């Protein structure tokens, strides 16, 4: 049994953020607790989505709530994604990369099939902000962050913040 109630926001360059997450085997009370904690972390940090790797947990699971509320949060377990339509660049940030905002190209539409906390499979089509949020969180399950999708000039602009995050991480690891 894992105590997911102690999970907290994980920041770059924590290794879990660059790994492909493992599938959730069974939906247990532990997984429901993890979903609850992820929703709490998303709401506390004023995000619209939050993936398990961002909580330091290497599982294929994320939550999304476009208005950032607990009431409207939806849990996606072991999601599969199809993307379509033109790619549109729009500014994005990431809770695991604080202070970095950059234009990221995403597909205009997507279709996600996932399992909910009751074990039911569902499929959802999305466009606009929801499509962008779903693709952003799905990227986390693939070990991809916005820094990996930035243009070269954007990477150059963000290098100081990225180095600071690495330095903070290394200082925390040393203590």
Give per-residue pLDDT as tens, 81-100: 999 999 999 999 999 999 99
Closest CA to 95 of 145, 131, 24: 145
Residue 38 in this model has a pLDDT that exceeds 60 = yes
Asked if residue 76 lies in contact with residue 64, where contact means CB atoms within 8 angstroms, the answer is yes
Whether pTM exceeds 0.85: yes
- State the chain's mean pLDDT as an integer: 94
Looking at the DSSP bridge assignments, the partners of residue 62 are 51, 76
Structure tokens at 47: 């995000």
Residue 49 in this model has a pLDDT that exceeds 70 = yes
Residue 157 pLDDT: 92
Which of the residues 22, 44, 124, 137 is marked catalytic? 137
Residue 42 pLDDT: 95
List of domains in the chain? 4-85+106-144 (3.90.45.10)
Asked if residue 78 lies in contact with residue 61, where contact means CB atoms within 8 angstroms, the answer is yes
Residue 1 in this model has a pLDDT that exceeds 60 = no
Mean predicted confidence (pLDDT) in 137-164: 94
Active site residue 137: yes
């Amino acid at each position: 049994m894992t105590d997911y109630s102690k999970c907290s926001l994980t920041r770059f360059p924590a290794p879990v953020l660059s790994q492909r997450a493992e599938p959730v085997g069974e939906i247990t009370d532990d997984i429901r607790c993890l979903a609850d904690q992820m929703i709490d972390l998303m709401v506390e940090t004023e995000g619209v989505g939050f993936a398990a790797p961002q909580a330091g947990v290497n599982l294929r699971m994320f939550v999304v709530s476009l208005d950032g509320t607990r009431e409207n949060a939806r849990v996606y377990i072991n999601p599969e994604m199809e993307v379509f339509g033109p790619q549109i660049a729009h500014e994005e940030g990431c809770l695991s990369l604080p202070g970095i905002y950059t234009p990221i190209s995403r597909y205009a539409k997507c279709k996600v099939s996932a399992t909910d906390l009751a074990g039911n499979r569902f499929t959802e089509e999305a466009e606009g902000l929801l499509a962008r949020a779903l693709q952003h969180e799905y990227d986390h399950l693939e070990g991809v962050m916005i820094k990996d999708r930035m243009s070269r000039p954007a990477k150059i602009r963000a290098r100081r913040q990225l180095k600071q995050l690495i330095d903070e991480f290394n200082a925390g690891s040393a203590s």
